[in-house]
Amino acid sequence: MNIKDSWLKSGYVDEQVPTNIDIKKEIIRLKEEKDAIIMAHFYQKNEIQDIADFVGDSLALAQKAAKTDAKIIILAGVHFMGETAKILSPDKKVLVPDLNAGCSLADSCPPEEFQQFVNSHPDHTVLTYVNTTADIKALSDIVVTSTNAKNVVDSLPKDEKIIFGPDRNLGNYLNSITGREMVLWDGACHVHEKFSVEKIVELKKEHPDALILAHPECKKPLLLLADYVGSTAALLNYSTSNENKKFIVATESGIIHQMQKANPDKEFIPAPPNDSTCACNDCEYMKLNTLQKLYNCLKFEWPNIEVKEDIRVKAVKPINRMLDISKKAGL
């Protein structure tokens, strides 16, 4: 396929979508014609979540990518999620709507520096959060997501020495709930770190009947304030199973779409960030994906994710270890 210079420059197919088509119907038609599956993370725009065949957290997306029969996987999420799908399903074409959809947490862990970190802890097991590049996964012993991180840590002998990266907040949280002393890489997600504890305390005064839900990528003071801490899928499940009618949600605001759909009678209030007058906290990388880019990526089958085979062979092992532990834990 001849990749246009303008596409390469922009990182997505920058063709005008015809104005006379019903874009949602066309996406569904193309997807069926090409035997493609559209998978979306909970942080995607509402219209992308609604058109997707499957919406889930990082673990569910990896599990689905490992077992789908579709010829093409469209991963509407960020780059590392597309890479994970490609590592697990190398024979499939894995497309992402916009190559610029990166992740500040993955960026906070450059491979050369992480290699030095690993080298300086020779007798340690290397645990890494799924929010990393394929190169980092290739340096790891086991990958975790926020849904299974505790199960993975608990599966290791109590005296096993562990290094954990790249998220210092998730690492600290795991240390506190497992009683471990994992050595932590000093990385973070800029979205989860910018929630304002002060504004959330004010919000709680206005809504004393609301429970605070927080993702473990948030800073410690917020996690201490939270009534429940968990992955996106865990927060969604908790908001449904808990009888409370009001929740303050401290994670990227996209998850509220599924919470509201599952619980039309409940109120979900996005926790505010500290840097703007905006009421909610969006990941600008996740929100780069649009229906137009999704349509074009299906139509032109670009951008596709490639992972070098030597890296893929190393990276698939720690991901498969994670999937095995998750299966045993019933996740």
Residue 237: which residues within 8 A CB-CB, separation 6 or more? none
Helix 79-88 and helix 309-328, axial crossing angle in degrees, nearest 10: 90
Residue 131 contacts ligand 13P per CB under 6 A: yes
145 binds, among ligand SF4, ligand 13P, none (CB under 5 to 8 A by kind): ligand 13P
Residues linked to residue 163 through DSSP beta bridges, in sequence order: 126, 183
Site string for ligand 13P, 90-129 (x = CB under 6 A): ----------------------------------------
- Between 36 and 188, CB nearer to ligand SF4: 188
Cβ contacts of residue 268 below 8 Å, gap of 6+? 239, 246, 247, 249, 256, 259, 260
- Residues numbered 235-264 forming contacts with ligand SF4, rule: CB under 6 A: 252
State yes or no: residue 326 binds ligand 13P (CB under 6 A): no
What tokens does 193 get? 């770190």
Nearer Cβ to ligand 13P (7/80): 80
Asked if 258 and 49 touch (Cβ cutoff 8 Å), the reply is yes
Residue whose CB is less far from ligand SF4, 131 or 148 = 131
**By CB under 6 A, is residue 189 in contact with ligand 13P?**
yes
> Site residues for ligand SF4, window 70-99 (CB under 6 A)?
78
Task: Count the neighbouring beta carbons within 10 Å of the beta carbon of residue 155.
Answer: 15
Residues 6+ apart with CB under 8 A from 50: none
Least CB distance from residue 117 to ligand 13P, whole Å? 22
Number of Cβ within 10 Å of residue 254's Cβ equals 24
Q: Which residues bind ligand 13P (CB under 6 A)?
A: 42, 57-58, 131, 145-146, 189, 215, 217, 231-232
Q: Which residues bind ligand SF4 (CB under 6 A)?
A: 78, 103-105, 131, 189, 191-192, 252, 283, 285-286
